[in-house]
Structure 1
Amino acid sequence: MSYHDDYAPSSGTRAPRAALSSDAPRLDLSGDWRFRLSSTVDVPDDFAAPEFDDSGWDTLPVPSHWPLHGYGAPAYTNVVYPFPVDPPHPPERNPTGDHRREFELPDGWADTATVLRFDGVDSCARVWLNGTELGFFTGSRLPTEFDVGPLLRPGRNVLAVRVHQWSAASYLEDQDMWWLPGIFRAVTLQRRPAGGLDDVFVHADYDHTTGLGTLRVDTPVPATVSVPGLGLAALPTGAPVTVPVSPWSAESPTLYDATVTTVGETVRLRVGFRTVSIVDGVLLVNGEPLALRGVNRHEFHTEHGRALPRGTMLDDVLAMKRHNINAVRTSHYPPDSAFLDLCDEYGLWVVDECDLETHGFELVGWRNNPSDDPAWLASYLDRMRRTVERDKNHPSIVLWSLGNESHTGANLAAMADWTRDRDPSRPVHYEGDADCSYVDVYSRMYASHAETDEIGATPGKPFVQCEYAHAMGNGPGGLVEYVELFDRHPRCAGGFVWEWIDHGLRHPEHGYAYGGDFGEPVHDGNFVIDGLLFPDRTPSPGLLDVKKVYEPVRFAFADDTLTVTPKRGDLSGLRVEWTMPDGTTGEFDLPAEGGTVPLPPVPETAEETWLTVRAVLAADTPWAERGHEVAWAQHRLCDPAGLREHWPGVRPSRIEDGITFGPGEFDRTGRLTSFAGFPVGTPRLELWRAPTDNDRLARLHDTWTANGLHRLTHRVDEVVVGQDLLARTRVAPAGTDRGVRVDYDWKSLRDGLLLAVHVTPEGEWPEPIATLAVSLSLPPTLDRVRWFGKGPGESYPDTGSAARIDTFESTVDDMQTPYVRPQENGRRGGVRWATVTDPSGRGLRITGLPLFGLTVRRWTPTALADARHPTELVPGPTVELTLDAGHHGIGTASCGPGTLPDYELFLSETEFTVLLEPV
């Protein structure tokens, strides 16, 4: 058995230790390395010799993944292993990347202790320095160190690293992401001074009853600790000291700069005082219930994969803070330690997850699953040790997670035991321990709202939804109801939306690629496109909804008053202000704990009027500027006056080739052909939408297509011309006797035509429908949209929490939401009126009686459904206008519960009315 198909996790490596910021000299080996890719492991290792001639090799940047630089191709799977499940053997075809790096040893480094550190290599690496083999290691997203001092030479040195894409360790790394081999994190040399600090363990507890913090710093050699901000200087390590402190929390991440010093080295630390506890089934930090309003985060960049620049990590942290996210689960491995530094600094609770997942064994009934096989115990414990030891000094980490979706077994239990023994200050999490036999919190994925309510109301261990609200494509729906349950039940510590970002790799043809776009024979399609950010880190509508439902402030309107209540923290850093539609503004005077205040006077107007209340930052913070909106709410002050009917006495008239009626022209069968001089396609009933990812994976779309909702036929049965114009029609799909009677009743009103659509089902319609709408085809020149209703972004019955009532403007193109896999998108809900015009302002106005849903796009739902990538969407010859009286909810059934019953749409007798007027 060779090293790459061995159960052993490594050989020749140092014991794991904390990631430390030290004054010891350090040499960064990032940059261009020489690189050669082979298709097999059977390659001579002569390249490790210092005299080997690599001038014919290519160069490859390190850190990086070689498939993203033209060597091989990425591959995506969610659960299934892309090789036979035959542990511990990797596939025979095993791409192997040989890397060489020459470097000059700094002056004074010869004959001194030096450590070579790899922060992340996927998936198995064998290492040589100056021709001497150091050993091998696995654990792709975990650090590894070697002692190399005696091997270093003055002047030129050669580091050689052989990386195999597949190894026995690949069975432990089936983590729902792109398979991307390479040296993707930093490689460094650090000189180790005599009497240096190999490790530091900070214990910083907080007593919320006294306001005192207790600090103890453990070191393997005698040292002193100083914390100037607390007046502590040169205290011996190992002994506790208790002083008044400000505690660390996600809302107020107070850090104290500290140094730990020996005769040979000084280590800089940032200490945060906080205590995690469980009392009566409630997860507490600093004596307060922990409200995790979180998100799962894979490391991903559309061009760099998991080789994230620090600037990108900072962008992510700032975006989370600005969208009211206060917690991160590091799915499904420890992140680059720089990310945890940022969580400490800016304030995010962290569930730090071990680099472990064996999900693919589920497909073979969990046979030979490593989690309960003693042969894998050393690897399991090694991964947990390296996670905890590296990250133990981060105050942001409040839970250790053993890994993800690896079933259960003795090896996981051993990891939990070791973790509690090493760090009893943090509870242990693992979703796969359904009986909670070795974990401290009860964790579930995608528990339905009903289950969440039941769990929350039942005594037991703290409950965490480690994954919920699958943010794949359009959605997720049901966020409001989930967070209401988290708020209601103290046992519910909250949850983590799946997930942060779409893993769409840059692609020359498709724009962004997902599974199958690189020719993978085994893949899971666009299941990797399931984030709150688009691949370019643009916020999706889902992220805006998350910001709204995660707000730390609650507004409640009653009669003529407003009650403002902080949900997390207090109001001391916020200013609460109000705005009227006419621009009139004001500010409420509220204490830090909140309170009730009178609303401003109602303006005298006949128009529908909404008061907007906002909580904004009162001063600059490290993560956002003064005035940044944290929370908002709206309250209707005045109802609309209603539509004043004016009948000008226009009647429909038959002409030689049809019917004329006010601004409309119809053919002989009562079908609208033009309006206000523009060619227009007649209104037609729609019961179908292009499927969302949730529709597809819930097989709801299969039901719709089996019922023929996507291929309705329309027949005119009767046209009645009198005071009004009435077209009686029947709409039905082929192959069934079910149908829909649809009467289109046109009346003259003001300068336009009032259209009442009466829908009567024929036969049984027990299944939900996608939408109840009418569509019209408009000229492509009508490309400007203005509306009064919810906006500015899309909204559906169970999404769009971030949408507010106002008047908005957009182009037709900008009304589309650019999901990586095209699907139903762009609907604006609660619309009172809208105009669709050309650049000169001529076009059509639609007024709802009272409301409608508005969708405007340049392609049909069929074209939208058929496209796999946005690049396949070609504008058609018309603009398609859809006005809906009802729309089925979105849900989160791509992974989780479907649409809640309140948001399901069933066909029933319905009448809805709109007024069409020329502009």
Structure 2
Amino acid sequence: MTNNTKVTPSLDWLSDTSVFAVNRAAAHSDHLYYETMEQAELRGEMPWRHSLNGQWKFHYAKNPAARPAIFYEQGFDCSSWDSITVPAHIQLEGHGTPQYVNTMYPWDGVHDIRPPEVPMEDNPVGSYVTQFTVPKHMEDMPLFISFQGVESAFYVWLNGHFVGYSEDSFTPAAFDLTDYLQPGDNKLAVEVYQRSTGSWLEDQDFWRFSGIFRDVYLYTTPEIHVFDLAVQARLDDTYSKGSLKAAMQFQEALPAAAKITGSLHDKNGRLVQEAEGLFSEQTAVVPFDIDKPNLWSAEDPYLYSLYLQIYNEEGQLVEVVPQQVGFRRFEMIDKVMCLNGERVVFKGVNRHEFNARTGRVVSEADMLWDIKTMKQHNINAVRTSHYPNQTRWYELCDMYGLYVIDEMNLETHGSWQKLGEVEPSWNIPGNLPEWQDIVMDRAISMLERDKNHPSILIWSCGNESYAGEVIVQVANYFRQKDPSRLVHYEGVFHAREYDEASDMESRMYAKAANIITYLENDPEKPFILCEYMHAMNNSLGGMDKYTELENKYPMYQGGFIWDYIDQALVKKDRFGKEFLAYGGDFHDRPTDYIFCTDGLVFADRKLSPKMQEVKYLYQNIKLDVTDKEIKVRNENLFVDTSAYQLVWTLRRDGIVVYEESVQQQVPAGEEAAYSITIPQSLLAEAGVFTIDASMQLAASTAWAEAGFEVAFGQYVWEKQLAAPKASGILRVVEGDVNIGVHGRDFAVQFSKTAGSLTSLRYDGKEMIEIPPYPTFWRASTDNDNGYQQSYTAGVWLAASIARKCTDVALHADEKQVDVTFTYTFAIAEKVTVQTIYSVFPDGKVRVKAVYHGAANLPDLPTFALSLKTSADYSNLEWFAKGPEENYEDRSRGARLCRFQNTVVTNGTAYARPQESGTRTGVRWLTLTNEQGSGIQLQAADAPITCNASPYTALEIEQANHAYELPPVHYTVLTVAGKQMGVGGDDSWGAPVHPEHRLAAAEEQSFVFTINRA
């Protein structure tokens, strides 16, 4: 349904809020349609659709003045132009510069403009040309073209005739080409501008690109065509009776003798019901009433298949429309959001469409990887931050089961927040009537395209655009047009007079304590965190403080982690080696640098260690384990646990000694305890025992194979025997400078001048390259930088490299030799560290480190001992919490286990090098070379915290990219009793929670032993 009018295109449209669509087809549903029932059942490629993806001729200009203005004319020769891939971003095809900015507009500090002005002298233009011939089976039919995504404004010509213009980068734009077609080759010309009025509305936290970045295709329609389909699948108050109405709007008036029928089939293809449509003029409705329909939810995404068949006056089938249907009811009950009558908790993430090589051009393989990864990690909800996604994403969410907040393409962050402060003096859209239509157009385009997807529970009015009447009108449109969903908008937090814009209280990065205050003061709306746990590189500490609210407060209904995937782009360094680049690496200015790398998965779609914590804290099935029973708490709303197998495993020192399956079936919302019996003979030996309970898929699903673990719980206890006394003879040599301790096949040396252990030899092999010294510094994380730890706690960085050994004491007898080093530090007289080395006749060296602190000093990042050994010692085996890295405030998802890696792979490849690879709860750690010789570190009084890295904390501190790190010569072992957590409430000022910090005035100590491996 289009209305082509003859107009002369103008560049003035780029800065005119009243012109955002010229000759563009009205927004409509994204349904498919076919010629036969067989085609519809297969839901394959549409014969009535012809892709124009591929190589187009292309010209790039830095601004409109440099563009080939008449390139669209028939006589203009483009044969010498470069080629460009469609779909693709211009900036990733070798033209112009990718630019990453977060809140500020990309021209900040470059052009002094205010909306709706556009910096025309800095407005890159892409001129695209392709030739096409109308496919034979589409000849003599109306022909349209659809652009699924173009950033940010574009003009279209066919055979020299102007066709139309559109803004809004993330919803489709369709145009009628019929009047401009010619036999044989047709010249299609598209002119794309990076900056337009739309750019003021697209100030999202992402890379700034331009170009045709989603599919382009021709399509035609049969003689009778469903232009728009609205499927309304409703449930009554008992959730046991369903009504389905398929409301259709046709491209033209229906013939009087036309016929419309519908058939509804279950997920196995069996016919459930047939119905005949009622129609008048250009509209029709096919109604169904279903008794006890299977309901759709993320836990059980049951989809029916609806087929609408359209017959012409002669009774011939001319069109079949297949549509997946999910019966579900989403509503507010007693101020709580409920799905099918049950309170829902969103265990969500925010997701940008992103690929490290192609930017926001994402393939179906990317989408499938994303959705399977989410399901495997117990994520049940996604917010399309901050724009409508490709249609296929919603289809996958319908099929696999994810709750969706569908967010319209609106963000004006830079117009009202400057340097973190709210300053809305020139905020848009606000209450400005000239912005109402262009903003509303984006809402309409999203709702009309996406309305038939059961996965979408909530419409979002956009992101970080402050507040005002324009957004309130959008919210009211959503409610009036679609009462089956709720409406979300977070920005009213800053302007409560517009509170009606959101049906829920939505906040970003609210602290858990503030959420509790809200929930305990008789709130009017349920609470969600549309963004929380800013997962920037090594982060996500303290997430449990939020998930603990889920069962305490009915009106707390979860949140959406920021965010799912790092936005880092593949780039080559000066030596031709690829790396993942972030803001500024393309000389893009202004930029927000590293702030684009805050995902749970890396940009190359490899899991980050943070996912270990997410999976555990988001699990719907909780397993409480003792040595007598396993309690299964099923927090699913709709499904029992029969799809899973419960397996418990007894391990001694990390090695399996017994395993058993438990027959279980726990209804949704209930719990049950299952007794377990451990054969007593297995407990005779001493060791650290663990019982791991694992809930595993009994059969393969669309998102994981049989045996995949969805939930776990662990119980740990220890059985100790008296340690045998060390045998052997110690020989002590106290020289003028060195103290030597010698035994059978080992030798230890301490230096009074170096003030440390300087040599440890087992079987003649030296284990100490650089002596151990106290350290108080870890390589800064991005969260550390966010609250300026280097500034507030930098004295500990100095103390880590500048110390004074003030005393060396020796105490020796035939069973034990103790050498004690005392260190003082310039930062405060009272701060001292003692390191006591105790050497035993069997070659073990016990190390005790004691910190005596002082008041009025900042918290310590860590208190540890760090030493270097040869890089030849690179193989690691751990008995620790793992297997992924974990920290004091991010260890709930780790379990005590035995695992192996290497020093090189132990660290995590964050986009900017920083603290990584640490494990808490370490019982022992073995470091060996390829021949199997080396050392073992073993906890003594209590588990310790360890790290093994090719680099020191200071080397990592100085590197902005991995390629800046020095060549590997050493293995750096760092041992601590406790290290400060990594934090994660936000990355711009939120400190680590007090219980996970090290107070400078408190004494700290830890003990471990070193022995040959």
TM-score > 0.5, shorter chain as reference:
yes
Residue 4, structure 1, aligned to residue 67, structure 2: no
Tell me by how many angstroms 1:795 deviates: 0.9
- Superposition map of 1:793-804 within 5 A: 793-804=884-895
Aligned partner (choices 901, 904, 909) of residue 810 of structure 1: 901
When residues 699 and 93 of structure 1 are mapped into structure 2, their CA distance, relative to the original with a 3 A threshold, is: same
Looking at structure 1, the residues matched to 800 and 666 of structure 2 have their Cα atoms a distance apart, in angstroms, of 58
Looking at structure 1, the residues matched to 889 and 928 of structure 2 have their Cα atoms a distance apart, in angstroms, of 29
Aligned partner (choices 46, 53, 63) of residue 40 of structure 1: 63
Residue 74, structure 1, aligned to residue 98, structure 2: yes
Aligned partner (choices 731, 734, 759) of residue 824 of structure 2: 731
Partner AA of 1:88 in structure 2: P
Residue 667, structure 1, aligned to residue 677, structure 2: no
Looking at structure 1, the residues matched to 444 and 533 of structure 2 have their Cα atoms a distance apart, in angstroms, of 31
Deviations 1:742-762 (A, max 9, x none): 24343426431212222212x
Tell me by how many angstroms 1:657 deviates: 5.1
Residue 463, structure 1, aligned to residue 547, structure 2: no
Contact in 1 for aligned 2:261/2:286 (Cα 8 Å): no
Contact in 2 for aligned 1:712/1:731 (Cα 8 Å): no
Mean alpha-carbon deviation: is it higher for 873-882 or for 197-206? 873-882
Please give the secondary structure, in 2, of the residue aligned with 1:301. Answer: coil
When residues 642 and 914 of structure 1 are mapped into structure 2, their CA distance, relative to the original with a 3 A threshold, is: farther
Looking at structure 1, the residues matched to 930 and 824 of structure 2 have their Cα atoms a distance apart, in angstroms, of 36
Mean alpha-carbon deviation: is it higher for 701-710 or for 79-88? 701-710
Mean alpha-carbon deviation: is it higher for 152-161 or for 644-653? 644-653
- Aligned pairs, how many? 917
- Superposition map of 1:437-448 within 5 A: 437-448=500-511
Partner AA of 2:363 in structure 1: P
Partner AA of 2:642 in structure 1: S
Tell me by how many angstroms 1:771 deviates: 0.4
Looking at structure 1, the residues matched to 484 and 826 of structure 2 have their Cα atoms a distance apart, in angstroms, of 63
Tell me by how many angstroms 1:647 deviates: 6.3
Q: Which residue of 2 aligns with 1:285?
A: 339
Mean alpha-carbon deviation: is it higher for 459-468 or for 874-883? 874-883
Return the TM-score normalized by structure 2: 0.88
Contact in 1 for aligned 2:99/2:589 (Cα 8 Å): no
Q: Which residue of 2 aligns with 1:584?
A: 658
Contact in 1 for aligned 2:756/2:773 (Cα 8 Å): no
Contact in 2 for aligned 1:206/1:247 (Cα 8 Å): no
Residue 99, structure 1, aligned to residue 193, structure 2: no
Aligned partner (choices 912, 937, 950) of residue 858 of structure 1: 950
Partner AA of 2:77 in structure 1: D
Q: Which residue of 2 aligns with 1:788?
A: 879
Looking at structure 2, the residues matched to 880 and 918 of structure 1 have their Cα atoms a distance apart, in angstroms, of 17
Looking at structure 2, the residues matched to 686 and 5 of structure 1 have their Cα atoms a distance apart, in angstroms, of 58
Mean alpha-carbon deviation: is it higher for 4-13 or for 93-102? 4-13
Aligned partner (choices 434, 439, 448) of residue 380 of structure 1: 439
- Superposition map of 1:204-243 within 5 A: 204-207=233-236, 209-221=238-250, 223-229=260-266, 231-236=272-277, 237-238=284-285, 240-243=287-290
Residue 540, structure 1, aligned to residue 594, structure 2: no
Please give the secondary structure, in 2, of the residue aligned with 1:304. Answer: coil
When residues 888 and 749 of structure 1 are mapped into structure 2, their CA distance, relative to the original with a 3 A threshold, is: farther
Mean alpha-carbon deviation: is it higher for 94-103 or for 793-802? 793-802
Please give the secondary structure, in 2, of the residue aligned with 1:772. Answer: strand
Looking at structure 2, the residues matched to 668 and 712 of structure 1 have their Cα atoms a distance apart, in angstroms, of 18
When residues 337 and 52 of structure 1 are mapped into structure 2, their CA distance, relative to the original with a 3 A threshold, is: same
Please give the secondary structure, in 1, of the residue aligned with 2:963. Answer: helix
Q: After TM superposition, where is structure 1 displaced by more than 6 Å over at least 4 residues in a row?
A: none
Q: Which residue of 1 aligns with 2:997?
A: 904
Tell me by how many angstroms 1:37 deviates: 0.4
Mean alpha-carbon deviation: is it higher for 848-857 or for 96-105? 848-857
When residues 659 and 208 of structure 1 are mapped into structure 2, their CA distance, relative to the original with a 3 A threshold, is: farther
Aligned partner (choices 384, 393, 416) of residue 452 of structure 2: 393
CA RMSD of aligned residues (A): 1.9
Partner AA of 2:114 in structure 1: D
Partner AA of 2:572 in structure 1: P
When residues 19 and 895 of structure 1 are mapped into structure 2, their CA distance, relative to the original with a 3 A threshold, is: farther
Aligned partner (choices 118, 124, 136) of residue 90 of structure 1: 118
Mean alpha-carbon deviation: is it higher for 478-487 or for 278-287? 478-487
Tell me by how many angstroms 1:733 deviates: 4.4
Looking at structure 1, the residues matched to 162 and 716 of structure 2 have their Cα atoms a distance apart, in angstroms, of 73
Deviations 1:24-76 (A, max 9, x none): 61111111111000111133432112332111101111000011111111000
Tell me by how many angstroms 1:858 deviates: 1.2
Mean alpha-carbon deviation: is it higher for 690-699 or for 207-216? 207-216
Contact in 2 for aligned 1:124/1:137 (Cα 8 Å): yes
Q: Which residue of 2 aligns with 1:142?
A: 171
Deviations 1:470-500 (A, max 9, x none): 1111021111221111232211111111011
Partner AA of 1:810 in structure 2: N
Residue 650, structure 1, aligned to residue 725, structure 2: no
Deviations 1:62-98 (A, max 9, x none): 0000111111110000011111441111112111000
Tell me by how many angstroms 1:441 deviates: 1.0
Tell me by how many angstroms 1:640 deviates: 4.0
Looking at structure 2, the residues matched to 210 and 534 of structure 1 have their Cα atoms a distance apart, in angstroms, of 41
Structure 2 gap segments, 5+ residues each: 1-10, 36-47, 255-259, 278-283, 312-317
Looking at structure 1, the residues matched to 959 and 403 of structure 2 have their Cα atoms a distance apart, in angstroms, of 39
Q: Which residue of 1 aligns with 2:566?
A: 502
Q: Which residue of 2 aligns with 1:352?
A: 406
When residues 299 and 738 of structure 1 are mapped into structure 2, their CA distance, relative to the original with a 3 A threshold, is: farther
Aligned partner (choices 116, 126, 138) of residue 155 of structure 2: 126
Structure 1 gap segments, 5+ residues each: none
Residue 878, structure 1, aligned to residue 970, structure 2: yes
- Superposition map of 1:264-663 within 5 A: 264-363=318-417, 365-372=423-430, 373-434=432-493, 435=496, 436-458=499-521, 459-509=523-573, 511-558=579-626, 560-568=628-636, 569-581=639-651, 582-593=656-667, 594-601=671-678, 603-604=682-683, 605-641=685-721, 643-646=723-726, 648=728, 650=730, 652-655=732-735, 658-662=738-742, 663=747
Q: Which residue of 1 aligns with 2:4?
A: none
When residues 832 and 172 of structure 1 are mapped into structure 2, their CA distance, relative to the original with a 3 A threshold, is: same
Tell me by how many angstroms 1:672 deviates: 1.3
Looking at structure 2, the residues matched to 916 and 329 of structure 1 have their Cα atoms a distance apart, in angstroms, of 50
Deviations 1:240-296 (A, max 9, x none): 432131000011001111112323322110001101000111110101111111110
Deviations 1:761-809 (A, max 9, x none): 2x42442110011111112211111121112211110113332112222
Looking at structure 2, the residues matched to 345 and 678 of structure 1 have their Cα atoms a distance apart, in angstroms, of 59
Looking at structure 1, the residues matched to 767 and 564 of structure 2 have their Cα atoms a distance apart, in angstroms, of 45
Contact in 2 for aligned 1:13/1:144 (Cα 8 Å): yes
Q: Which residue of 2 aligns with 1:698?
A: 787
Looking at structure 1, the residues matched to 799 and 529 of structure 2 have their Cα atoms a distance apart, in angstroms, of 37
Contact in 2 for aligned 1:10/1:138 (Cα 8 Å): yes
Contact in 2 for aligned 1:716/1:727 (Cα 8 Å): no
Tell me by how many angstroms 1:226 deviates: 1.7
Tell me by how many angstroms 1:424 deviates: 0.8
Looking at structure 2, the residues matched to 637 and 347 of structure 1 have their Cα atoms a distance apart, in angstroms, of 39
Mean alpha-carbon deviation: is it higher for 769-778 or for 891-900? 891-900
Tell me by how many angstroms 1:457 deviates: 3.5
Q: Which residue of 2 aligns with 1:251?
A: 299
Tell me by how many angstroms 1:3 deviates: 1.2
Looking at structure 1, the residues matched to 673 and 871 of structure 2 have their Cα atoms a distance apart, in angstroms, of 51
When residues 340 and 210 of structure 1 are mapped into structure 2, their CA distance, relative to the original with a 3 A threshold, is: closer
Please give the secondary structure, in 1, of the residue aligned with 2:715. Answer: strand
Looking at structure 2, the residues matched to 656 and 369 of structure 1 have their Cα atoms a distance apart, in angstroms, of 75
Aligned partner (choices 829, 832, 846) of residue 740 of structure 1: 832
When residues 643 and 339 of structure 1 are mapped into structure 2, their CA distance, relative to the original with a 3 A threshold, is: farther
